[in-house]
Amino acid sequence: MAPPLLFLRDIRLTFGGTPLLEGADLSIAPGERLCLVGRNGSGKSTLLKIAAGLVEADAGERFVHPGATVRYLPQEPDLTGFATTLAYVEAGLGPGDDPYRAAYLLGELGLTGEEDPKTLSGGEARRTALARALAPEPDILLLDEPTNHLDLPAIEWLEREIGAMRSAMVLISHDRRFLETLSRATVWLDRGRTRRMDRGFAFFEEWRDAVLEEEERDRQKLDRKIVAEEHWVRYGVTARRKRNVRRMANLAALRSERREARRAVGSVRMAATEGEESGKLVIEAIGVGKAWRPDEPVVKDFSIRIARGDRIGIVGPNGAGKTTLLNLLTGTIPPDSGTVKLGASLAMVTLDQRRESLDPAETLANTMTGGGSDYVDVAGERKHVIGYMRDFLFLPEQARTPVAALSGGERGRLMLARALARPSNLLVLDEPTNDLDLETLDLLQEMIADYNGTVIVISHDRDFLDRVVTSTLMSEGGGQWLDYAGGYSDMIVQRGAGVERRSVERPAGKAAPEAPAAAPARKTARKLSFKEKHALETLPGTIDGLAAQAAKIQALLADPGLFSRDPKAFSEAGRRLADVEAKKAAAEEEWLALEMLREELEG
């Protein structure tokens, strides 16, 4: 294996009396692609800043190979002192770097290069800083949340751009699909220490669960040993004094180890407070149109029926009008043309992406309860606000903390906590995954799955969409929005392209529903071939067989002792599971395409 270009060894750092890093390690070899994962507040960004040389640790060693170039993408870049965005990006180029790459990257990220840094939004500043980090194609790239403020076309472009680079890189991101696509090794920062797995993020959760289960077994062994020692102290026959002293010292040491052991941080507990059941029809839009400027429709002749229990995802590039469409559907703004009818007994709760409804001067506890009470009614259960705060990983001493002092991740959890405490049967979520860590995302997905009402969500998180929505509304440009069955991946299969495709041209036989004149074109003399008919009949059995294989492998991986007993077998099982699931996904996509073709040919 090639020697590392950069490594951190036994890094220790304490903020405000609380240890943040307690012996963390990080090693990056040429061309290596690591993802750095961990809970919000675990110290990921701090460790990356130490690797970049921007923060000095209290103790530990940092080494960078002489001559190696390092570029770091901060979450909050500083562009002061530069006349234009192009000047800022070009300042990051070194001798021999391609001078045209700066303008190319800015253009791909939706900037001209002539923007004044003083007038940039937070998202534009982040995209400018991303261009500066990528422009020199450094030996080592340290990227902290590179997908923040990017829309889906930009995220998919960034995946391709980074994938083609030869730089070694460390990625911090809450975008699962992004990490699964790019990472080849995983470093987990947990309770101040790092653990490394030489496999990509796709295998992280199985590995993490195995590690935590092994820790729990060790903790239980320690508890039993403490009980045995206490039993001897209370009831054992007195032996020689020196032996007594030694055993008492051993008991004290065991108790100290038990007391000082840093347990895994608790889990977020989510439950939505559901209101009275809505009518079967939740929203009906007929021929809806909206334009903010003449001849530039944001929504054009759009119709949809949303029933109780539907989970609708809205996707498209920035500026396509996703929030406008959401506001039209929920009656927040009136349409220019057409009608929107809301169903009976609707109780709607909204989570806005900019957290604008939070009062920065209000305390955390009052924001959760609405003030005037120390209790919250959640899912039919009355909870004290301190207990409800704990459910969302807030400490009791934070009860009187003003909202303005909370981090972005904490504000995201606070918005969720407040929204879920309100009775509702329609959840409207505008970018709910912003600033949430992976464990909180998992629980949000489970909560939505268990929610009996209707959900409408805007998101750029492809994995989140695949896990929660039943249909996807996609912007096709020119104000046209089309409804695709399934999640984001299903939409790509049906559409034949990702979000970057803005043309309204449809694949043959898939005319837009609002163009009735195109309907006769769907009539065709073509019939399913024998091979297609056979595949339609046999693919369900193939899919079931692959699902059974996957279940067997998952049962094998669920053995908590397999990883420690036989790491090679664990890794091989993981590879086989990935292969089987890939085959199953391909079979499902083929069946879906054939089923759609059959329905189309049968009219």
Q: Are residues 436 and 504 in the same domain?
A: yes
Asked whether residue 275 is domain-assigned, the answer is no
Which tokens belong to 432? 């709910």
Q: Are residues 493 and 534 in the same domain?
A: no
Residue 23 has pLDDT above 70, yes or no: yes
Asked whether residue 396 is domain-assigned, the answer is yes
Taking a C-beta distance cutoff of 8 angstroms, is the pair 354, 299 a contact? no
Q: Estimate to the nearest angstrom the gap between the alpha carbon of 487 and the chain centroid.
A: 15
Across the range 237-262, mean pLDDT stands at 52
How far apart, in whole angstroms, are the C-alpha atoms of residue 160 and residue 138? 17
Q: Are residues 70 and 124 in the same domain?
A: yes
Q: Estimate to the nearest angstrom the gap between the alpha carbon of 120 and the chain centroid.
A: 26
Q: What is the pLDDT of residues 251-290, one digit of tens each?
A: 556 555 545 554 555 555 655 555 555 668 889 999 999 9
Distant-in-sequence, close-in-space partners of 99: CB < 8 Å, separation ≥ 6: 90, 93
To the question of whether residue 320 is assigned a binding role by annotation, the answer is yes
Task: Name which of 79-83, 295-299, 395-399 the model is least confident about.
Answer: 395-399
Q: Are residues 113 and 223 in the same domain?
A: no
Strands 381-384 and 281-293: unpaired
How far apart, in whole angstroms, are the C-alpha atoms of residue 589 and residue 477? 26
- Give whole-number Cα distances, 352 to 189, 326, 388, 458, 565, in Å: 30, 11, 21, 10, 47
To the question of whether residue 321 is assigned a binding role by annotation, the answer is yes
Residue 515 has pLDDT above 70, yes or no: no
Most confident listed range (10-24, 82-96, 378-392, 444-458): 82-96
Q: Are residues 193 and 224 in the same domain?
A: no
Residue 233: the pLDDT is 53
Per the structure, the complete domain to which residue 363 belongs is given by 281-514
Asked whether residue 274 is domain-assigned, the answer is no
Q: Which of 206, 225, 246 is the last residue of a domain?
A: 206
Q: Are residues 345 and 240 in the same domain?
A: no
How far apart, in whole angstroms, are the C-alpha atoms of residue 88 and residue 105? 13
What residue type is assigned to position 417 of the chain? A
- Count Cα atoms within 13 angstroms, Cβ side, for 89: 35
**pLDDT over 90 for what percent of the chain?**
28
Phi, psi of 423 (to 5 degrees): -60, 135
To the question of whether residue 23 is assigned a binding role by annotation, the answer is no
What residue type is assigned to position 504 of the chain? V
Q: Which CATH number belongs to the domain containing residue 557 in this structure?
A: 1.10.287
To the question of whether residue 323 is assigned a binding role by annotation, the answer is yes
Asked whether residue 524 is domain-assigned, the answer is no
Asked whether residue 400 is domain-assigned, the answer is yes
Asked whether residue 297 is domain-assigned, the answer is yes
To the question of whether residue 275 is assigned a binding role by annotation, the answer is no
Residue 521: the pLDDT is 35
To the question of whether residue 564 is assigned a binding role by annotation, the answer is no
Residue 415 has pLDDT above 90, yes or no: no
Residue 27: the pLDDT is 94
Residue 434 has pLDDT above 60, yes or no: yes
Q: Are residues 145 and 229 in the same domain?
A: no
To the question of whether residue 43 is assigned a binding role by annotation, the answer is yes
- Pick 536 or 61 by higher pLDDT: 61
Residue 237 has pLDDT above 50, yes or no: no
To the question of whether residue 317 is assigned a binding role by annotation, the answer is yes
Q: Nearest Cα to 390, choosing from 378, 380, 372?
A: 378
Q: Are residues 109 and 38 in the same domain?
A: yes
**Strands of 18-28's sheet in order across:** 18-28, 6-15, 59-64
Q: Are residues 49 and 73 in the same domain?
A: yes
Asked whether residue 265 is domain-assigned, the answer is no
Residue 47: the pLDDT is 94
Burial class (CB in 10 A: 0-12, 13-18, 19+), 401: middle
To the question of whether residue 452 is assigned a binding role by annotation, the answer is no
How far apart, in whole angstroms, are the C-alpha atoms of residue 295 and residue 304? 23
Q: Which of 514, 549, 575 is the last residue of a domain?
A: 514
How far apart, in whole angstroms, are the C-alpha atoms of residue 130 and residue 296? 31
Across the range 548-554, mean pLDDT stands at 84
To the question of whether residue 40 is assigned a binding role by annotation, the answer is yes
Across the range 358-383, mean pLDDT stands at 79
Residue 76: Cβ within 10 Å count: 9
Q: How many domains does the chain have?
A: 4
Q: Are residues 368 and 472 in the same domain?
A: yes
To the question of whether residue 39 is assigned a binding role by annotation, the answer is yes
Which tokens belong to 25? 């390690």
Q: Which of 514, 544, 569 is the last residue of a domain?
A: 514
To the question of whether residue 568 is assigned a binding role by annotation, the answer is no
How far apart, in whole angstroms, are the C-alpha atoms of residue 420 and residue 455? 13
Taking a C-beta distance cutoff of 8 angstroms, is the pair 414, 403 a contact? yes
To the question of whether residue 318 is assigned a binding role by annotation, the answer is yes
Across the range 381-410, mean pLDDT stands at 80
User: Taking phi first (over 0 means left), then psi (-120 to 50 degrees means alpha), and beta for anything else, what does residue 286 get?
Assistant: beta
Residue 527: the pLDDT is 67
Q: Are residues 79 and 135 in the same domain?
A: yes
To the question of whether residue 366 is assigned a binding role by annotation, the answer is no
Distant-in-sequence, close-in-space partners of 225: CB < 8 Å, separation ≥ 6: 254
Residue 502 has pLDDT above 50, yes or no: no
To the question of whether residue 319 is assigned a binding role by annotation, the answer is yes
How far apart, in whole angstroms, are the C-alpha atoms of residue 107 and residue 165? 18
Phi, psi of 445 (to 5 degrees): -65, -40
Residue 325: the pLDDT is 92
Q: What is the pLDDT of residues 65-100, one digit of tens each?
A: 998 999 999 888 889 889 999 999 999 898 888 888
Q: What is the pLDDT confidence band of residue 240, given thresholds at 50, 70 and 90?
A: very low
**pLDDT over 70 for what percent of the chain?**
82
What residue type is assigned to position 407 of the chain? S
Three-state secondary-structure class, residue 143:
strand
Phi, psi of 70 (to 5 degrees): -125, 130
How far apart, in whole angstroms, are the C-alpha atoms of residue 32 and residue 290? 48
Taking a C-beta distance cutoff of 8 angstroms, is the pair 426, 454 a contact? yes
Residue 511 has pLDDT above 50, yes or no: no
Q: What is the pLDDT of residues 125-136, one digit of tens each?
A: 889 999 999 999
How far apart, in whole angstroms, are the C-alpha atoms of residue 9 and residue 193? 11
Q: What is the mean pLDDT of the chain?
A: 80
Q: Which CATH number belongs to the domain containing residue 175 in this structure?
A: 3.40.50.300
Across the range 516-541, mean pLDDT stands at 60
Residue 246 has pLDDT above 70, yes or no: no
Residue 215 has pLDDT above 60, yes or no: yes
Q: Estimate to the nearest angstrom the gap between the alpha carbon of 593 and the chain centroid.
A: 28
Q: What is the pLDDT confidence band of residue 366, given thresholds at 50, 70 and 90?
A: confident
Three-state secondary-structure class, residue 296:
strand
Asked whether residue 448 is domain-assigned, the answer is yes
Q: Are residues 348 and 489 in the same domain?
A: yes
Residue 499 has pLDDT above 70, yes or no: no
